[in-house]
Amino acid sequence: MRRLGRGLLRPASEPAERPARGSGTGTFWIFSIGSSLVLLMGWLLPWFVQPTSSGVGFSPMDVVTSSPTGIGTLCVYVLAVTMVMLVIAPVAELVYRMRKQPVPMRFDRVRVVAAAVGLLLTVVVFLLTRIIQEEPLFGPIRAHTITDSAVWLTMFGYIMAAVAYGARDWVSRRPTVAFAALGLPFGLLLPLMFHQAPNFIYWAAASLAIYTLLALGLNVVVGFAGLLDLGYAAFFAIGAYTCASLASPKHSIHLPLWVLIFLGAAVASMFGALLGAPTLRLRGDYLAIVTLGFGEIIPDLATNNVGNLTGGPDGISSIDQPILFGIHFGINKEWYYWALFVLVIVVVILLRNLERSRVGRAWVALREDEVAAAATGINTTATKLLAFAIGASISGLAGAFYGSIVTIVSPDDFAFAVSVSILSIIVLGGIGNITGVIVGSFVLTLVIFWVLPNLNEWSGTLGQTINVPSLSNIDYSKYTYIIYGIALVAMMLLRPGGLLPSRARQIELKSGGEEESLAAVQGRA
C-alpha cells in the first residue's frame, strides 16, 4: 500500500551530468536568462511603455535619418556588441548543455568583461547625454526618481550577467544567498525602474506582491506540510472582506491599515483552524476536495450578501487608502509595493526559521509518513492545524492589502481560478522552496497580469500602425486559463520539482527519504 504522506511528487529522473547541486543550476539559469531578458527589456522598454506616444526618442525614422559621428557613436557601437553578446549567452549555454560539454572558461571571462564594459559605458553615455542636455532625453523626472527606467534596467542586466558568468560556482553553491543578493536590490528598486509605467507599478503592488505573499502562504500548507489546499482563496477572501468591512463606508468604520493587517491575519487563521479541525484527518485528494468546497462556499456567502455584510456581487467598494507621513498610498502606489516588499521579506525570514524549527521538522515527518510521524509522538492534528492556520494568516495579510490597493473587493476576486493560479505559482516555482515560489510568482504574475492585458493594447497599436485591424481584436486575456492549465500539466509531467526544486524535496525524491537525514539538510540550508 502506497503512503500518501510521502510528498506530492513522484521521483524525478535527474540529469546525470550535474548531480546533487540542489537548485543551484536552476538559479544560474534564472540569472542567465534573466539578464538576457532584462537587457532586452531595457532595449525595448520605450516601445513597451508608451507604444503610441510620439517623440519617445526612438523611432525607426530617427535611425534612418541620423548619421554616426563622434565618441558617443563609438560608445554606442561597443554597447551594442556587449549587449548582443549577453542577450544570446543563454542560447550558447543551452547548446553546450545539450551537447553535454562543459562551457569553456574563456567564454565566461569574455562575458564578464563584456558585462563590465557595458555597465561602464551605460553610465558614460548616460552622463554624456545628461551633461550635454540637448533635450530632456529621459523625460520628466519626478522627485523620488533617481534616473531613467531603461538605464536602470540595462545596468541591472549587466550586473546580473556579471554575477552569473563571473561567479558561476558561487551561484551554484549558495543559490539562496546569490538570489537574495541580486533579488533584493531588484525588488527594492523595481518602482524606480518602472516609474514611467504606472501600470507596471500597479501590477507590482496589486499582483506581484500580493500573489507572492499568497504563494508563500500556500507553500506552507502544500509545500511544508504536504496538504493540498484547493480553496486557499477563501482565506484570502476572509482577510480581504474583514479589512474591507472595517475600513470603508460600508459600515462606517475606518480602522487604519496597520491594525487591519493583523486583524485580517488573525481572522483568517481562525477560519483556517476552524475549517481544519474537523477535516484534517482526511488525507490527500479528499482533503483537497473539502477545501475546494469550502473555497466555493465562502464566495457564495459573499455573493448572497449574508447579513448584509458583504455587499453582494458588487462587493465592498471605496475602501480606505492610508496616508502615512504625508504620503497618499492611493496616489503613490509604489509605497504599497514597498510596504508589501518589507512584509514579504519579514514573512520569508519567519518562514525560513519556522521551516528549520521543531514544527518544520514535524511537517517534514508528516509529509514523509504520517503514521510513522504519529508513532514518534508528533501530534499530527495540531501540526496540520498549525500549517493551515499559518498559511491562512499569511493570505489574510495579503487580503488586507489587496482590498486597500484595488479599493474594492468582490466575490469573483476569490473564485476557484485564484486558488488555481496560486497553486500554479508554487508548482511552477518549486513546491516547498521559498526562492522557487518567489521566482514562480514573478514569472506567472508577469505573464498573466501584465503581459497579457498589455498585449491587447500593444497588438491593437501594432494593428493600427501596420493596418491589420484583426490584430486589435484579439483578447489575449483569454489565454489566461490555458496558461494555468499548461503550467500545471507540463510541470507535473516534465519537471515535478518545479523551476527551482527544493533541496529537501530532491533528496526525498532520490533517496525515498531513507538514507539521508532530512532534518540535518534542512537545518543546514
Site for other proteins in 493-512 (CB under 8 A): 493, 496
**Per rule CB under 8 A, is residue 312 in the interface with other proteins?**
yes
To which residue does cell 507572492 refer?
212
121-160 mask for other proteins (x: CB under 8 A)? Answer: xx--xx-xx--x-xxxxxxx-------xxxx-xx------
- Which of 62, 177, 342, 358: binder of other proteins (CB under 8 A)? 62
In three-state secondary structure terms, 174 is coil
250: left (phi over 0), alpha (psi -120 to 50) or beta: alpha
Q: Per CB under 8 A, does 309 bind other proteins?
A: no
CA 427 – CA 436 distance, rounded (Å) = 9
With residue 154 as reference, give the H or E element that holds it: helix 149-166
Residues numbered 27 to 46 that lie near other proteins (CB under 8 A) are 39, 42-46
Nearer to other proteins, 25 or 407 (CB): 407
What is the spatial distance between Cα 386 and Cα 245, in angstroms, rounded to a whole number? 27
Tell me how far, at minimum, the Cβ of 57 lies from other proteins, in Å: 4
Instruction: Pick from 15, 18, 84, 94 the residue near other proteins by CB under 8 A.
Output: 84
Min dist CB 240 to other proteins, Å, is: 11
Residue number with CB closer to other proteins (25 or 279): 279
State how far the alpha carbon of 417 is from the alpha carbons of 214, 476, 485, 512, in Å.
14, 17, 11, 33
Contact code string over 156-195 relative to other proteins, x by CB under 8 A: ----------------------------------------
Please report whether residue 253 would count as binding other proteins according to CB under 8 A. no
Which one of 4-12, 103-111, 336-344, 386-394 is the stretch in contact with other proteins (CB under 8 A)? 4-12
Q: Does 303 bind other proteins (CB under 8 A)?
A: yes
Of 101 and 381, nearer to other proteins (C-beta) is 381
Instruction: Identify the CA nearest to 240 among candidates 328, 169, 309.
Output: 309
Should residue 454 be labelled a site residue for other proteins when binding is judged by CB under 8 A?
A: no
Alpha carbon distances (Å) from 176 to 256, 369, 493, 496: 35, 28, 26, 20
Instruction: Decide if residue 516 touches other proteins (CB under 8 A).
Output: no
Residue 173 C-alpha from the chain's centroid: 23
Sign of the dihedral through C-alpha 232, 272, 239, 301:
positive
Q: Which of 91, 177, 255, 318 binds other proteins (CB under 8 A)?
A: 318
Residues 379-408 that bind other proteins (CB under 8 A): 379-382, 406-408
In 3D space, the residue among 440, 407, 409, 431 whose CA is nearest the CA of residue 496 turns out to be 431
The distance of closest approach from Cβ of residue 237 to other proteins in the complex, given in angstroms and rounded to an integer, is 13
Main-chain phi, psi angles of 328, to 5 degrees: -85, 110
Residue number with CB closer to other proteins (125 or 246) = 125
**Binding letters toward other proteins, positions 467-496, x by CB under 8 A:** --------x-xxxxxxxxxxxxxx-xx--x
CB distance 153 to 193 below 8 Å: yes
Q: Which of 182, 176, 174 is nearest to 157 (CA)?
A: 182
CB of 298 to other proteins, least distance (A): 9
Single residue of 101, 304, 376, 464 touching other proteins by CB under 8 A: 304
Between CA 72 and CA 475 the distance in angstroms is 42
By CB under 8 A, the residues from 414 to 443 that bind other proteins are 415-417, 420, 423-424, 427
Question: Under the criterion CB under 8 A, does residue 258 sit at the interface with other proteins?
Answer: no
207 vs 385: CA distance, rounded Å:
28
* Position among 270, 305, 322, 525 found at the interface with other proteins (CB under 8 A): 305
Q: How many residues are listed for the chain in this entry?
A: 525
Write the DSSP symbol of residue 68: -
- The correct pick among 113, 288, 443, 519 for binding other proteins (CB under 8 A) is 288
Q: How many CB atoms lie within 10 A of CB 18?
A: 11
List beta partners, residue 248: 253
Q: Does 323 bind other proteins (CB under 8 A)?
A: no
